[in-house]
Amino acid sequence: MTEAAESGSRSRTRRAILDAAVVVFTQRRTASLGDVAAEAKVARSTLHRYFADRAELVNAIADDVLVAIEQAIEDAAVDEGSPQEALRRLSAGYFNLGPRIFFLFNEPTFNRPDPPPEVERFWQRLEEVGKPVERLIERGHRDGVFAPGLSVSWIIRVLWWLVYIGWEAVEEGDLPRLGAPATILQTLEHGILTRER
């Protein structure tokens, strides 16, 4: 086997393990690495060659999520078009990351009052990755598109939580997978009140 082929195979196996871990840990927080290996269709010994323990695997998922978020922001081209159009593209991109976001929001190590250093680094890195989104919202404020009384940080929080509860509703069967992005966007742009007639 050539070095390139081996590298490609390793990359596919690692990707399969990360994706399987998100599925398994989202369904059962206490799932074992054996459960993850079974979902990824690899031997447990293979999984351990990539990730020594659960903590290492969770940290790898978090790193993977950061890369995906950065790509979603780039794909949304948040500096182009109107702020409202850019926010719509970003919302759709974030929703496509739903299972991974859903996992992190529910992962106990990411919700502790005294997070370990690697979790603190994750939140710091997420803030850095999200700088283009902050600029988008500031632009929306200047253009009079986003409500001036809502701070940048508040709008970002609302967007993340809408993505989270959108996926929660999908997981619980309250929203169809294909209809959820439109519901998130409607709530983000118009809230829960009907428009005045």
Contacts 24+ apart (CB under 8 A), 5-11: none
Q: What domains does the chain contain, in order, with CATH numbers?
A: 1-52 (1.10.10), 55-190 (1.10.357.10)
Q: Is the dihedral of CA 125, 191, 143, 82 positive or negative?
A: positive
**pTM score, whole prediction:** 0.87
Q: Is 77:86 a contact under the CB 8 Å cutoff?
A: yes
Is 7 a residue whose pLDDT tops 80?
no
Distance, CA of 75 to CA of 90 (rounded, Å):
8
In tens, the pLDDT along 105-157 reads 888 888 888 888 989 999 999 999 999 999 999 999 999 999 999 999 999 99
